[in-house]
Amino acid sequence: MSKTNTLILLCVLISLFAWGTSDSIARLLVFSTSGLIEGRIWTLVTALFVHADIIHLLGNMIFLYVFGNTLENTVKSRNMLLVFFTGGITTFLFGIPFYSPYATLVGASAAIFTLTAVVMIVKPLKFSWLFLLPVGLVAILYFLYNVLAVYHGSSGSVAYVSHVIGFLIGVPFGVAWSPKWIKNLIVTLCLLAIYLLIIAFGIPIIFDLIKKVLTNS
């Protein structure tokens, strides 16, 4: 079993445990600034494997499967794990100024965003059959979505700031591991430009054609 799939299994098992146990025990697994001050240092790791609900878990595991395995096959298992845990732990710490001391943070999202940044720089053209897009394009699209969410002050249960921080943490890893990182960034930006052009011009044209066909039929 790949290290990525092992991480996925741990996320599933620990999330199920947290959902099925008492609130007092589950609280020992989640991260908060107040908990860290009280000495619960282990939550910097355990919180990565706890998810809020099945939708949160499923979404994260799809991204972890695609980007974790892609990175693991490119830069070896130990480096993928280094990126995952570095991204997750440091994002919790760097995110402290942005959240209430009593806000609880859970999930592998930020760590996965760190993985996406590295993959975007080292292997942007790798095609994902799950997303039906090159992984570099998927990475930059979700990064920009989260940047816009932070800019517009989107609130709720999604930690957009942490996602952005996690992504930025991954960039130096990608630069260090890819001798062609400038070229790969240009490739990613070109993919983004093509995607936006298709969205802006291609889809309206297709809808117009469908409308004409339906009108004439």
Residues of the chain with pLDDT under 70: 155, 213-214, 216-217
Instruction: Judge residue 66's burial from the number of C-beta atoms within 10 Å of its C-beta, 0-12 exposed, 13-18 middle, 19 or more buried.
Output: buried
Note the pLDDT tens digit of each residue in 87-145. 999 999 999 999 999 999 999 999 999 999 999 999 999 999 999 999 999 999 999 99
Alpha-carbon distance of 94 to 8, in angstroms, equals: 24
Confidence at residue 84, expressed as pLDDT on a 0 to 100 scale: 98
Instruction: Give DSSP secondary structure letters for the chain.
Output: --HHHHHHHHHHHHHHHHHHS-HHHHTTTSB-HHHHHTT-TTHHHHGGG--SSHHHHHHHHHHIIIIIHHHHHHH-HHHHHHHHHHHHHHHHHHTGGGS-TT--B-SSHHHHHHHHHHHHHH-TTPEETTTTEEHHHHHHHHHHHHHHHHHTT--SS--HHHHHHHHHHHHHHHHHH-TTHHHHHHHHHHHHHHHHHIIIIIHHHHHHHHHHHHHH-
Please state the separation of Cα 150 from the chain's center in Å. Answer: 15
What pLDDT score was predicted for residue 203? 73
CATH superfamily for domain 3-216: Rhomboid-like (1.20.1540.10)
Cα–Cα distance measured from residue 110 to residue 67, given in angstroms and rounded to the nearest whole number: 13
- Give pLDDT, residue 155: 67
Q: Does the global pTM surpass 0.85?
A: yes
d(CA 67, CA 116): 6
